[in-house]
């Protein structure tokens, strides 16, 4: 597996339905047309202007977000330093998935870096769907595990780099 296999593929959004867009996103990979339609049915779209806060670090986490258009900046406040940008996410990227797994508060702040359109899934609605569709639950939860594992590996790599370059 090459490094390119781990990078999100750019989405082709023009003229596609939300289900077709979701099918291109790795967290929904492997889901058939019917399960994707069920996921689309429980979601909704939200729009944010540039600079608008999607959520703040410490807020209750109860939604998952997929970027359909625009960009979102993920940040943390570092005492003595101010805002530290962790990532700028573009269409096809998703964030807030940890809130679907645990009841912990948000670990970072999300701000519209550009005007954006987001597909949003509420945790309660997803839990209800997964309760009635065990096959969907199995596929989706394994995709969550893969996502979190991939992100943990990337964090470990960054920590190793920082430690070996004495920047930690």
- The class (CATH top level) of 16-164 is mainly beta
Mean pLDDT of 143-148: 85
The pLDDT of residue 145 is: 86
Mean pLDDT of 122-139: 91
For the chain, domain boundaries:
16-164
Tell me which residue of 142, 90, 140 sits closest to 117, measured CA to CA.
90
Strand order in the sheet with 44-48: 44-48, 116-122, 63-69, 94-95
More confident residue, 165 or 114: 114
């Amino acid at each position: 597996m090459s490094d390119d296999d781990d990078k999100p593929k750019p989405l082709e959004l023009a003229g596609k339905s939300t289900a077709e867009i979701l099918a291109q996103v790795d967290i929904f990979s492997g889901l058939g047309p019917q399960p994707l339609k069920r996921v689309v049915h429980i979601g909704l779209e939200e729009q944010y202007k540039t600079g608008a806060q999607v959520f703040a670090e410490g807020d209750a986490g109860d939604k998952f977000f997929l970027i359909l258009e625009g960009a979102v900046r993920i940040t943390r406040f570092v005492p003595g330093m101010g805002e530290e940008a962790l990532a700028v996410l573009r269409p096809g990227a998703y964030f807030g998935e940890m809130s679907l797994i645990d009841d912990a508060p948000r670990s970072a702040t999300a701000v519209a870096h550009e005007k954006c359109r987001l597909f949003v899934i509420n945790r309660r609605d997803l839990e209800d769907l997964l309760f009635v569709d065990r096959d969907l639950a199995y596929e989706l939860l394994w995709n969550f595990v893969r996502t979190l594992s991939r992100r943990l590996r990337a964090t470990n790599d960054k920590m190793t780099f920082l430690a070996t370059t004495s920047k930690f």
